[in-house]
Amino acid sequence: MPKDNTAVQIDVWAPAAGTVQLVSADGTAPMTSGDAGWWHGTLAGAPDGVDYGFLVDGTGPFPDPRSRRQPHGVHDLSRTFDPAAHAWQDDGWTGRQLAGATIYELHIGTFTPEGTLEAAAGRLDHLVSLGVDFVELLPVNGFNGTHNWGYDGVLWYAVHEGYGGPAAYQRFVDACHAAGIGVIQDVVHNHLGPSGNYLPNFGPYLSDAEGNTWGASVNLDGQDSDEVRRYIIDSALMWLRDYHVDGLRLDAVHALKDHSAVHLLEQLAGEVAVLSASVGRPLTLIAESDLNDPLLITPREANGYGLDAQWSDDFHHAVHVALTGETAGYYADFAPLGALAKVLTRGFFHDGTQSTFRGRHHGRPVDTERMPAWRLVVASQNHDQIGNRAIGDRLSAQLDTGQLGIAAALTLLGPFTPMLFMGEEWGAHTPWQFFTSHPEPELGLATAEGRIGEFARMGWDPAVVPDPQDPATFERSKLDWSELQRGDSGRLLAFYRDLASLRRRLADLTDPRFARVAVAFDEAAGWLRLSRGETEIVINLSTSAQSVPVTGHSVLLAFANNADASLRLDAGQVLLPPHSVAVLG
């Protein structure tokens, strides 16, 4: 928005409108029609803090599709916000490369009791002590209600006011950079939430084609889709430029329906690369994809999309099954311990193999000779894999401390980019459940009934499925930081810190080549040995002690369920106590 001392230019795209009027405290004023469906007007006042909206063909007023601030919620007027007003303190920040980094995923509303960006900034010392390189924030853009996971956003340029709004977001990023931590923002471009989506009143933002799991698809390749694509890409560049964010996590890109010659993701990667060169720091794009297709992370020069990394849920599934024994649903194919071995050495388990859950072959192999392993982001727990369980139970609800230590070692010392979910580092016992706060009674009821019905079809007792609209569901999901005072929590946290430190110190653990990864295992005995060069990570999944052949001559780190348990290393064998892990070099 170009500005002077007395007025702000306001532009809005409404290609089919006959009239568009600008609404403010000064009344209603007509806007001027320009090229390519854009309308232009002038808003009297300073560039920051003036409320406004639009009447489109006499209906409205509607908030600005590119609104930076919604102080009264997504159904009310927008408020101007000047991102240049913030005095940035991060001039010395040169960014973070994803290779070799550790990510920490958190939800602003439940990370602290206060649920604000300011309160989250007050916990950065904890993340620094944990060896975190990036915080990944679940979506913070404008949604209806007071609390939500963030995936029901409808205003992609705004920061939820309950978290502190856009100015608080800038201060949070500044604080992260001062602490040496980069920021990755989770963004959703595949659908819009069910309440407060006024985009169709302005133009063809949504596709007439088949929708996706969450509703109507966004118009990426139909008539007038050029401006819709621009809307998405400009919002992505906004986070990276105006808020100094270091990377974006792109939600469910498999739901982006785009048949253009240049896919939206490829276009986005190209423009982000240009911005990265301009600002002089790395800017990272990470995709969440259900496709198991390395095309996403193949460089554009090799005819790929050129994204930096993508999630590998196969790692989560293999670790989860190995530790819990659950084999229902999509876990069925991961029952053999060999599934975990394959994921560790080849990246994907489903790489063209039969997926019994899908009833078809799925995925494509990773080119392990050329693709560095760090391009796959892995986790033993994340917001989806916990929150989409019927009662939102973490691994700590099923596993003992030793097993949690095994999950930590596989995640942090494996060849991939590790991501931790808030609280897992101390074995948090608070659940992370699905919660909403739709003000509309009918929408709240439909959400609750749909959630309960979904799990009832899967065999869960409907009585145990929390009501997402119940404020207690949200409150239960907040981290309880007092848990850190418990003995086992402190011991597990210390182990996480030791793992992160070891990962930084040992060259073997920073080598991204699949060729330097080897796995041996004994299905019946329940042990697995992950070799990364000369370093060996040996785990005992069994409830009895196991003797495992090794080549390492010294124990660098060890962790067992029983704090007093000891292991023996002798003559090429290590004797591991039940539910334990050892790192040898």
Q: Is the peptide bond before 61 cis (omega within 30 degrees of 0)?
A: yes
383 marked as part of a ligand binding site? yes
Q: What's the CA gap between 148 and 110, in Å, rounded? A: 10
Distance between first and last Cα of the chain: 58
Check whether 155 is labelled as a binding-site residue: no
**β-strand partners of 539:** 528, 581
Any binding-site annotation on 98? Answer: no
Spatial CA neighbour of 499 closest among 564, 578, 565, 420:
420
For 201, residues 6+ apart whose C-beta sits below 8 A from its C-beta are 56, 59, 60, 62
Please compute Rg for the chain using Cα positions.
25
Locate 287 and state its tokens.
Answer: 């995709």
Instruction: Please enumerate in sequence order all residues whose Cβ is within 8 A of that of 61, keeping only pairs 6 or more positions apart, or say none.
Output: 23, 53, 54, 55, 77
Dig out the tokens for 319 from the structure: 């670790």
Q: Is 362 annotated as a binding residue?
A: no
* Residue 267, marked binder: no
Count of other CB atoms within 10 angstroms of residue 394? 22
CA–CA gap between residue 225 and residue 219 (Å, rounded): 6
Annotated binding-site residue? 254:
yes
385 is known to lie in a ligand binding site: yes
Could you confirm whether 133 is annotated as catalytic?
Answer: no
349 in a labelled binding site: no
**Residue 251 marked ligand-binding:** yes
26 is in an annotated binding site: no
Residue 11 labelled as part of a binding site? no
**Strand residue runs (E) in 363-503:** 376-378, 417-421
In angstroms, rounded to a whole number, what is the distance separating the alpha carbons of residues 541 and 544?
A: 9
DSSP string for 217-269: PB-SSSTTHHHHHHHHHHHHHHHHHHS---EEEETTGGG----SSS-HHHHHH
Whether 75 has a binding-site annotation, put simply, is: no
Nearest-10 crossing angle of helices 313-324, 401-413 = 150
Residue with the two structure tokens 């400009």: 234
23 annotated as ligand-binding? no
Q: Is 40 annotated as a binding residue?
A: no
**In this structure, what token pair is assigned to residue 567?**
């292991």
**Active-site residue flag, 425:** no
Q: Residues 105, 251, 308, 351: which is the catalytic one?
A: 251
Check whether 386 is labelled as a binding-site residue.
Answer: yes
List C-alpha distances in Å: 336 to 2, 301, 331, 404, 519.
Answer: 60, 38, 10, 20, 14
Structure tokens at 321: 């099954």
375 labelled binding-site residue: no
Task: Specify the DSSP class assigned to residue 556.
Answer: E
Q: Single out the catalytic residue among 133, 161, 242, 288.
A: 288
Is position 252 annotated in a ligand binding site?
Answer: yes
Annotated binding residues for substrate: 249-254, 313-317, 383-388
Specify binding-site residues.
Answer: 249-254, 313-317, 383-388
| Catalytic center residues | 251, 288
